[in-house]
Structure 1
């Protein structure tokens, strides 16, 4: 019983990261820094719209995580997206990041958590 509860808890925590960032930070624009990062990377002309579209995508990922559909594909998609986004941000907009280039540490930790939760070899053997 406990492994199942822990698995669900970790799944919801991962989904919460995507849902909160997508809805609160980007779609509702409660953290303007996100739109500034998008403007720096993709240009200011449509930064507001693009930020909201990215937010919708992040909400979609959060829902995918909760759905449990193709969890390995979902995990790899998350890891690739997080590492790609954070690399772009660290190179093109480090001054706009909450912790500067140290954001990369949190990105790697989050990716490691996703990996351990969904992709570690002992988990694959049980699936």
Structure 2
């Protein structure tokens, strides 16, 4: 696959999770996960904020601006979200603790797509 196609798939993942799952709340377990991890009585506000940030991430991926920064931001975000879910809410995850495997695969795809298509990997361009 080409870099553009992979970037579109990655952007679609962020968009689906942000818009469909969180902003539109078609996957209510996301709100339960947020409530459990943040120990809040108002998870709907955090769900919407996280959804907006994920939609923004999809736009950023498509824009290809600051390629290295978006690489590190995506990897860090996916890793932190999945580590928190792994420890605090594995019972609410679609595949339980096995979710972390899919997160690792997504991180590997994002990283390898970036490395294959960029000669400079340690500058924020």
Aligned to 1:66: 62
Aligned to 2:119: 125
Q: CA deviation at 1:115?
A: 0.2
In the aligned structure 2, how far is the partner of 1:23 from the partner of 1:123? 28
Higher relative contact order (CA 8 A, sep 6+): 2
Q: CA deviation at 1:43?
A: 2.1
Aligned length: 121
In the aligned structure 1, how far is the partner of 2:17 from the partner of 2:84? 17
Aligned to 2:23: 27
Q: CA deviation at 1:36?
A: 0.5
Q: CA deviation at 1:98?
A: 0.4
Q: CA deviation at 1:126?
A: 7.5
In the aligned structure 2, how far is the partner of 1:93 from the partner of 1:126? 37
Aligned to 1:97: 93
Gaps of 5+ in 1: none
Alignment partner of 1:116 is 2:112: yes
In the aligned structure 2, how far is the partner of 1:9 from the partner of 1:41? 34
Secondary structure, counterpart of 2:119 in structure 1? helix
Q: CA deviation at 1:7?
A: 1.4
Structure with more of its chain in helix, by fraction: 1
In the aligned structure 2, how far is the partner of 1:125 from the partner of 1:91? 36
In the aligned structure 2, how far is the partner of 1:18 from the partner of 1:114? 12
So what's the TM-score if we normalise by structure 1? Answer: 0.90
Gaps of 5+ in 2: none
What is the CA deviation profile of residues 67-86 of structure 1, one whole-angstrom value per residue up to 9, with x for unaligned ones? Answer: 11011110110000000000
Q: CA deviation at 1:21?
A: 0.2
In the aligned structure 2, how far is the partner of 1:123 from the partner of 1:15? 17
